[in-house]
Structure 1
């Protein structure tokens, strides 16, 4: 029996979900979903890491859309499909220091770090 569900999810719903690892460890919450204004696709998701997770403090991480599983069995939980060690060593930023500069370079670096390919060619 296929229990997966496929339906649109609002950004406010995603932001109210708990993000957990595949091993059911609470990681944090989705702070924001960044849209690429040229392609109309999700550029990356900003994950707000819980203070207690891996002693990372209140770190924000940019992850590709593909790094998340929105089709789990609990509608209030989103699974991050990235190993804890990868998250622990990920480049991050804080609330007062969001990424600036050429966004296509930043978006490409996010996908490269986590090992996900961009779905579309970049418009430059």
Structure 2
């Protein structure tokens, strides 16, 4: 079976899949910001390619976890025609690789896997702050939930902790 098959209980997670952010590939380094630090608006509209070379659609939104300051998801718009319709998919940020040479994102999943992933439409968004929903999305793409990725750092560094009673 495919190591990313969401239905395969033996699907593996590699060390690259547990990194804390999206990977960057290619030699594209230019003047000004990027590719390490970029405005989110710069990435909106970027094409997303599947692991089997299919054009999946475009990034339509980048969702931030406001409290933690982390990128939670990229929203992929798949199947839109002239910007209308289409299915939206929340993609864990760490499932993406920014390809600076091809100026697109590579998703570590096949086109068929994405089509079978839970989608939603622009008028009916899921509760993205719901940990159960988020866990299921991350499990689908064989990624550790983003809120778990830095837990060890926070737990081992008292300076990184926020006092829940004061928020400081």
Q: Into which bin does the TM-score normalised by the smaller protein fall?
A: 0.7 to 0.9
Residues 33 and 42 in structure 1, CA contact (< 8 A), matched pair in contact too? yes
Q: How many residue pairs were aligned?
A: 117
Distance in 2 (alpha carbons) for counterparts of 1:83 and 1:29: 15
SS in structure 2 opposite 1:32?
A: strand
Please name the residue that 1:64 is paired with. Answer: 92
Alignment of 1:21-100 (within 5 A): 21-51=50-80, 58-75=86-103, 77-100=104-127
Q: CA deviation at 1:25?
A: 2.1
Distance in 1 (alpha carbons) for counterparts of 2:80 and 2:45: 17
Alignment of 1:103-118 (within 5 A): 103-118=130-145
| Rg larger in structure | 2
Structure 1 residue runs of 4+, over 3 Å off? Answer: none
Residues 34 and 44 in structure 1, CA contact (< 8 A), matched pair in contact too? yes
Residues 87 and 121 in structure 2, CA contact (< 8 A), matched pair in contact too? yes
Give TM-score scaled by structure 1 length: 0.79
SS in structure 2 opposite 1:100?
A: coil
Residues 59 and 77 in structure 2, CA contact (< 8 A), matched pair in contact too? yes
Please name the residue that 1:18 is paired with. Answer: 47
CA RMSD of aligned residues (A): 2.5
Give TM-score scaled by structure 2 length: 0.60
Residues 43 and 107 in structure 1, CA contact (< 8 A), matched pair in contact too? no
